[in-house]
Structure 1
Amino acid sequence: MSYQGRPFAASPFQDNRSRSNQGLAGLGVSTGQAGLSGKVGGFFDNNDRTLPMYKDKPYFTPKRTAPRRRWRPLLVLGVCVLTFLWYYKSSMPLWPGSDSSDKGAELWKWAQTLDDESPSKERVDWNARREKVREAFIVSWEGYERDAWGSDEYHPVSGQSKNMIDGGMGWIIVDALDTMMIMNLTTQVRHAREWIATSLKYNQDHDVSTFETTIRMLGGLLSAHYLSTQYPNLAPIADDDVGAVGEDLYIEKATDLGDRLLGAFESPSGIPYASVNLNKSEGLPSHGDGGASSTAEATSVQLEFKYLAKLTGEAEYWKAVEKVMEVVDEQKPQDGLVPIYIHPKSGNFKGQNIRLGSRGDSYYEYLIKQYLQTAEQEPVYKELWDESLLGIRKHLLAFSKNAQLMVLGERPNGLDENLTPKMDHLVCFLPGTYALGATSGRPLAEARKSADWSQQREEEIFISRELMKTCWATYLATATGLAPEISHFILDSPPVMMEDKYPDPKSPSEAASPHELHSISQPLSPQADGSEPWRKDIEIHNMDRHNLQRPETIESLFYMYRVTGDEIYREWGWEMFKAFIKHTAVVEKEESELADGEATTRRIKGFTSLSNANTIPPTTRDNMESFWMAETLKYFYLLFSDRDFISLEDHIFNTEAHPLPRFKPTGDLKTGWQRKPKPVKAAEPAEAAE
């Protein structure tokens, strides 16, 4: 996205930054009362928001006064010199590395051996593979440090960078922060933390995306706070220790940002505006789409604000995002499927376009994740999730013509019109989310033993496996082994739907058995001549051949492995990772002086998205997406890690892959709405008596 900077103005929050120091226990929950009574119905009264900043201690611990000593100036001077030297060293670009070895050169040498790699009969060393992912992250980060430190956008081929708005948003640094913690990269975390403490501000007089800022920046800060306090052995920083003067840095930044983002929800309906001016805390409607907001964006900010409410004890955050879910449900979506636009003024849907790709995807993702985030204490979101799964099954799931690949299509003109067999890469989040919802993150073998396991859940696992295979096929279908942005599929006419093969059962006894479900599943067996039937089912249009380093497929592989324990998902992930290394690496040459002349060495300095992933060599776009380090590499790393590391049973990942804890809501943090009864359909006229 592109932003044009405007002059700064005085922040309306400047008089509200010094707040009472309230005691917070555990993760920092305050005992302050919500400041929203009487406002949610309205929705908010203008200029009437006062949120006591969470504080469990002064930011700087005051020192007692003492008699003046003659040596104190020298001590202060010495401390200043040491601080300057530390700051200078920590701020220096890390390339060619703080280690004794050059990771970029090592990774390039390793990449030259990938074509020779053959399946090993010995046990795979997943720790070694995980370390390769860590090295790829280090190379990506060091290139950014050297060429673009502090910038929001990084173009690794040209070495150029820029900010989206004046002063920057911390787009790359904050987004990648918890990945560095998870990978235990202490030096890199220290450098990022210093920049956040001294340079990150959210008072720019400019509009930014409400959704993107919430999931990337607010989510990134909240996750960093959580990991730094609950996993002290991961990239430990002294200032993050309990009682240290800087312990609260991330949550203070998050609270300031959350306060400003709340202005987006001050619409007549409570549906957030697409953009928000951070300086004024003022929501702004979309410049296109008739001012409508994306449904997915409006309904994919709940995890972040609910956790912020948990940390601060301020119910205002909770109620603002909860109101959105109530308004959406009041529109009575047909079969649980929502159009992709919604008006902030009226709360009504715009159009009839139904899809789980862009502008529709994470609405469904956050239904089940809200239920799991609050320890399954909010059953309304599970109910909405189950309804949407039935709608997906009935209207969107079809099978390809030749290989019976399961296809998740679109209904651009409404559920009563034709199915379009098109899958954005974005929809590949769904296989993993299906598996997560079926078992709540538990291992499948364990979940199957539980009293609430059913044939419906068994079918959800089947669907997750089949959709996962289709997403993997889109990677195999290109020359580089990297999926295009959009894939089209060849279906029968009329299309064979899931409902046709397996009608929606009226009772558990009528549901298809696991054997019946898996009878149509076919492996993606390679053929020497490339004549596999499934290849005939996939079409890649010229305008859709780009690869943006997206994380959705590796995200689902991560969930599928954690839930099923099937090693095939790790192996698919490894093949994907190798393809990224081989085809998206930005390689630079260095001339070295030797006694007998010049020699050329090569090293990888970063990774870039592609304009065309279906040709070798691929065409590059010269852009590293922030989610390359925030999501894609993180999910690779977690896929190759032990199952219990950042476990699914204890955590929920937001749609930008920022892990947050599950918790039980208390006090005012609870579901504050109930679903309204659906209109009763008119009874069918009775048949005439014979």
Structure 2
Amino acid sequence: MARILRIRTIAFCAFLLITLYYFLPSEHATSLLHVSPLHHGGTIVLAQYMNDARHIPRIVATKSSFAWNSVKFVYPPELTPKLPPHATNRPHIQHSFKAESHDIALIQGKRREEVKRVFKKAWASYRKYAWMKDALKPLSGEYVDQFSGWAATLVDSLDTLWMMGMRDEFYEAVEAVAKIDFGFSTSGTVNMFETCIRYLGGLIAAYDLSGHEALKEKAIEVGDLLYAGFNTENGMPVDFIAWDTAKSGSGLYVEETVVSASPGTITLEFSRLSQITGDSKYYAAVSHVMDTFYEHQNETMLPGMWPMFVSMRRKDVVSGYQFSIGGNADSMYEYLPKAHALLGSTSPSTMKYEIMSRTFMNTAMENLFFRPMLPGNEDILISGNCDVVDMEGTPTPRLDPESEHLSCFIGGLFALGGRLFENEEYLQTGAKLARGCVYAYKAFPTGIMPERYNMVLCPDNKQCKWSDTRWATERDKRKEWKDHLPLGFTTAKDARYILRPEAIESVFVLWRITGKEEFREAAWDMFQAVANATDTRFANAAIKDVSKVGSEQEDYMESFWMAETLKYFYLVFADPALISLDDFVLNTEAHPFRLPKA
């Protein structure tokens, strides 16, 4: 009888485990994997079950029609430095959250489900009308291929599906991804930057979360494709890979001028791929690129930062007078502290990332961030641009109080840097920058900030009293946009909202680092505004004018809507153990890379 009872008990436990795995939302599953068995009896059994390969659908990756690892390079990149040992001394990043009351947990659960509802609607439309295409057009229900025709939205959304517990949809997507032919492209050239952050980043993150080997195999294919972009005479990567030339191995021509973000946004993906595969070649290639930026960081017209445009052909990252952490430069700066988080400072080749991070952050604080003149004297910061002009033979930095939605990532990055480098000034600066973007959202009638705008500077970045006269004078100097402007704003020169994630990204990071409820409440206000203004029959669309309620929409929905924007909203309201900042670092497309443990 005792034996029969044991068998029944085991059978019941097996049934319960299967039920938990397939029906619990993924944040609970993730939490269970990381809690101590001292507090949750049976957790270790569940963890073993979920990591058992027998319970993962068998999906075999189809080899692409061209083997990128077979190309014989005319200019093979150096194979050193070797991948360094894992960092072991990372500081604690995420706030120590306590258990919430039942009522608060219920509210946040409803918010999380509302975000998931919006995502599921968009995903269902993509699956029905644009499956295996790069992007869905949310007004017409048609599709567009703008990133080589490798199903950008599909690959970009893999990890979001996993986080939201949509396991059936996830494995259906993995099966489709496993068949993508990275030996064929709809375009004669392949964009290095976009392919790296969306495709390689998406595949690595989905593998890091699920452990499915088919994703790893496809990530290696894309990694080898991008590695072909380093087959150049000086070892610097191209901006666009000439498809047929790259296949021949005869060597690629490095463009004369590129935006600095392009060569500066490969570090995380290539380094993580080396960690996953044990092959240092990816890490070595990108390390040499970053050496070029490191060696000349203090020789520019704004020492500590690099101009928006650089020449990798001439290895010139010094010439130029325009400096910004916004478009054209943003993710290069973003990857410096994050590379330090991923790699640590365990070798001479990795120590540069902390030095470059601290140097640029100090320069940005002194030259780019400003306090705007506002009616309520709110203590916020906005990130502007800096032009270095010649004043009687002396290069002089001049702050331009123009900002953009793209710049809103910087608040979260400074907060992350504050924890990584144990610098309270960085953290407080990050909080003020995040609050600045939240303010810009609230200020406009739709509850959404514009793509690009100007504000009035407070002199010397100190608190300044509101002046109607000064505001009107500054506004009238600008030729663009004098109507429908909130107090303090002098332009909304690009009034669109194109479903961008950068503001909610910083709000998410500040919530996870500080635990302050103001950020979670701000996120909910932002989500409601965005979801209402962009909703369409099929999914969500960009809007043309955030200053007008009921603005006309555009038939446009980038893959980052599901890969980034909705993911960050979801994570704000999810269990903080889901994608803990102590366990993951997110690339510029919000793809989480697992931080290796010693």
TM-score band (shorter)?
0.7 to 0.9
Would you say the 8 A contact 1:12–1:279 is kept in 2?
A: no
Provide the residue aligned with 1:546 in structure 2: 496
Residues 1:485 and 2:467 are matched in the alignment: no
Matches of 1:468 and 1:520, distance apart in 2: 20
Matches of 1:405 and 1:308, distance apart in 2: 38
Residues 1:437 and 2:417 are matched in the alignment: yes
Matches of 1:332 and 1:472, distance apart in 2: 32
Would you say the 8 A contact 1:300–1:366 is kept in 2?
A: yes
Q: Unpaired runs of 5+ in structure 1?
A: 1-9, 18-34, 36-43, 51-120, 230-239, 241-247, 441-451, 502-518, 523-533, 588-604, 666-690
Matches of 1:165 and 1:606, distance apart in 2: 20
Residues 1:46 and 2:46 are matched in the alignment: no
**1:649-688 residue pairs with structure 2 within 5 A?**
649-663=582-596
Would you say the 8 A contact 2:402–2:454 is kept in 1?
A: yes
Residues 1:209 and 2:191 are matched in the alignment: yes
Matches of 2:119 and 2:418, distance apart in 1: 32
Q: What is the letter of the counterpart of residue 190 of structure 1?
A: Y
Residue 48 of structure 1: how far off its partner (Å): 8.6
Provide the residue aligned with 1:80 in structure 2: none
Matches of 2:354 and 2:124, distance apart in 1: 42
SS of aligned partner of 1:201: coil
Residue 382 of structure 1: how far off its partner (Å): 1.1
Matches of 1:658 and 1:373, distance apart in 2: 13
Q: What is the letter of the counterpart of residue 386 of structure 2?
A: R
Matches of 1:179 and 1:640, distance apart in 2: 14
Q: What is the letter of the counterpart of residue 502 of structure 2?
A: E
Shift in alpha-carbon separation, 1:11–1:144, aligned structure 2, 3 A:
closer
**1:316-335 residue pairs with structure 2 within 5 A?**
316-333=281-298, 334-335=302-303
Shift in alpha-carbon separation, 1:293–1:268, aligned structure 2, 3 A:
farther
Provide the residue aligned with 2:370 in structure 1: 398
Matches of 1:258 and 1:203, distance apart in 2: 15
SS of aligned partner of 1:125: helix
Provide the residue aligned with 1:645 in structure 2: 578
Matches of 1:361 and 1:458, distance apart in 2: 23
Relative to the length of structure 2, the TM-score reads 0.74
Q: What is the letter of the counterpart of residue 402 of structure 2?
A: K
Q: What is the letter of the counterpart of residue 412 of structure 1?
A: D
Instruction: Select the residue among 138, 156, 159 that pairs with 1:175.
Output: 156
Residues 1:337 and 2:305 are matched in the alignment: yes
SS of aligned partner of 1:416: strand
Provide the residue aligned with 2:278 in structure 1: 313
Q: Which whole-Å deviations, capped at 9, do the CAs of 1:594-644 have from their partners, x for residues lacking one?
A: xxxxxxxxxxx3111112222121111111110000000100111111222
Q: Which whole-Å deviations, capped at 9, do the CAs of 1:210-246 have from their partners, x for residues lacking one?
A: 01100100000111111112xxxxxxxxxx4xxxxxx
Provide the residue aligned with 1:597 in structure 2: none
Instruction: Select the residue among 126, 130, 153 that pairs with 1:148.
Output: 130
Matches of 2:465 and 2:508, distance apart in 1: 21
Would you say the 8 A contact 2:382–2:433 is kept in 1?
A: yes
Provide the residue aligned with 1:625 in structure 2: 558
Instruction: Select the residue among 236, 249, 263 that pairs with 2:228.
Output: 263
Shift in alpha-carbon separation, 1:279–1:224, aligned structure 2, 3 A:
farther
Relative to the length of structure 1, the TM-score reads 0.65
Instruction: Select the residue among 110, 113, 130 that pairs with 1:131.
Output: 113
Shift in alpha-carbon separation, 1:658–1:15, aligned structure 2, 3 A:
closer
Q: What is the letter of the counterpart of residue 399 of structure 1?
A: R
Instruction: Select the residue among 505, 513, 518 that pairs with 1:555.
Output: 505
Residue 12 of structure 1: how far off its partner (Å): 6.5
SS of aligned partner of 1:418: strand
Would you say the 8 A contact 1:434–1:460 is kept in 2?
A: yes
Residues 1:475 and 2:425 are matched in the alignment: no
Matches of 2:576 and 2:192, distance apart in 1: 34
Q: Which whole-Å deviations, capped at 9, do the CAs of 1:292-334 have from their partners, x for residues lacking one?
A: 1221121111000001111112111001101111011222334
Shift in alpha-carbon separation, 1:483–1:202, aligned structure 2, 3 A:
farther
Q: What is the letter of the counterpart of residue 114 of structure 2?
A: K
SS of aligned partner of 2:438: helix
Residue 279 of structure 1: how far off its partner (Å): 5.0
Would you say the 8 A contact 1:270–1:344 is kept in 2?
A: no
Residue 345 of structure 1: how far off its partner (Å): 1.4
Provide the residue aligned with 1:464 in structure 2: 430
SS of aligned partner of 2:241: strand
Residue 362 of structure 1: how far off its partner (Å): 1.3
**1:224-243 residue pairs with structure 2 within 5 A?**
224-229=206-211, 240=212
Point out 4+ residue stretches in structure 1 off by more than 6 angstroms: 47-50, 519-522
If asked which structure has higher relative contact order (CA below 8 Å, sep 6+), I would say 2
Matches of 1:277 and 1:481, distance apart in 2: 43
Q: What is the letter of the counterpart of residue 278 of structure 2?
A: G
Shift in alpha-carbon separation, 1:285–1:582, aligned structure 2, 3 A:
same
Residues 1:573 and 2:523 are matched in the alignment: yes
Residues 1:379 and 2:359 are matched in the alignment: no
Residue 477 of structure 1: how far off its partner (Å): 2.0
Structure with greater Cα Rg: 1
SS of aligned partner of 2:269: helix
Q: Which whole-Å deviations, capped at 9, do the CAs of 1:518-543 have from their partners, x for residues lacking one?
A: x9999xxxxxxxxxxx94222333x4
Q: What is the letter of the counterpart of residue 382 of structure 1?
A: E
What is the RMSD computed on CA atoms of the aligned residues? 2.8
Identity over the aligned pairs, expressed in percent? 31
Matches of 1:633 and 1:436, distance apart in 2: 21
Matches of 2:560 and 2:173, distance apart in 1: 16
Q: Which whole-Å deviations, capped at 9, do the CAs of 1:547-584 have from their partners, x for residues lacking one?
A: 01100010101110011000110000001111122110
Q: What is the letter of the counterpart of residue 46 of structure 1?
A: Y
Matches of 1:189 and 1:284, distance apart in 2: 39
Matches of 1:163 and 1:660, distance apart in 2: 27
SS of aligned partner of 1:386: helix
Matches of 1:177 and 1:433, distance apart in 2: 24
**1:48-197 residue pairs with structure 2 within 5 A?**
123=104, 125-164=107-146, 168-197=149-178
Residue 470 of structure 1: how far off its partner (Å): 1.0
Instruction: Select the residue among 317, 330, 333 that pairs with 1:364.
Output: 333
Matches of 2:494 and 2:539, distance apart in 1: 24
Shift in alpha-carbon separation, 1:265–1:412, aligned structure 2, 3 A:
farther
Provide the residue aligned with 1:53 in structure 2: none
Shift in alpha-carbon separation, 1:461–1:16, aligned structure 2, 3 A:
closer
Q: Which whole-Å deviations, capped at 9, do the CAs of 1:49-73 have from their partners, x for residues lacking one?
A: 99xxxxxxxxxxxxxxxxxxxxxxx
Greater mean deviation of Cα atoms: 607-616 or 273-282: 273-282
Matches of 2:244 and 2:282, distance apart in 1: 18
Would you say the 8 A contact 1:208–1:278 is kept in 2?
A: yes
Matches of 2:523 and 2:183, distance apart in 1: 37
Residues 1:352 and 2:321 are matched in the alignment: yes
Provide the residue aligned with 1:615 in structure 2: 548
Q: Which whole-Å deviations, capped at 9, do the CAs of 1:339-392 have from their partners, x for residues lacking one?
A: 111112111034221001011111211110000012453332111111111111
Matches of 2:69 and 2:533, distance apart in 1: 52
Provide the residue aligned with 1:496 in structure 2: 460
Greater mean deviation of Cα atoms: 319-328 or 334-343: 334-343
Would you say the 8 A contact 2:368–2:386 is kept in 1?
A: yes
Count matched residues. 474
Matches of 2:437 and 2:147, distance apart in 1: 35
Would you say the 8 A contact 2:453–2:490 is kept in 1?
A: yes
Shift in alpha-carbon separation, 1:15–1:540, aligned structure 2, 3 A:
closer
Shift in alpha-carbon separation, 1:661–1:649, aligned structure 2, 3 A:
same
Provide the residue aligned with 2:387 in structure 1: 412
Provide the residue aligned with 2:539 in structure 1: 606
Matches of 1:568 and 1:202, distance apart in 2: 48
SS of aligned partner of 1:412: strand
Matches of 1:46 and 1:11, distance apart in 2: 24
Would you say the 8 A contact 2:254–2:313 is kept in 1?
A: no
Shift in alpha-carbon separation, 1:214–1:48, aligned structure 2, 3 A:
closer
Q: What is the letter of the counterpart of residue 538 of structure 1?
A: F
Residues 1:13 and 2:13 are matched in the alignment: no
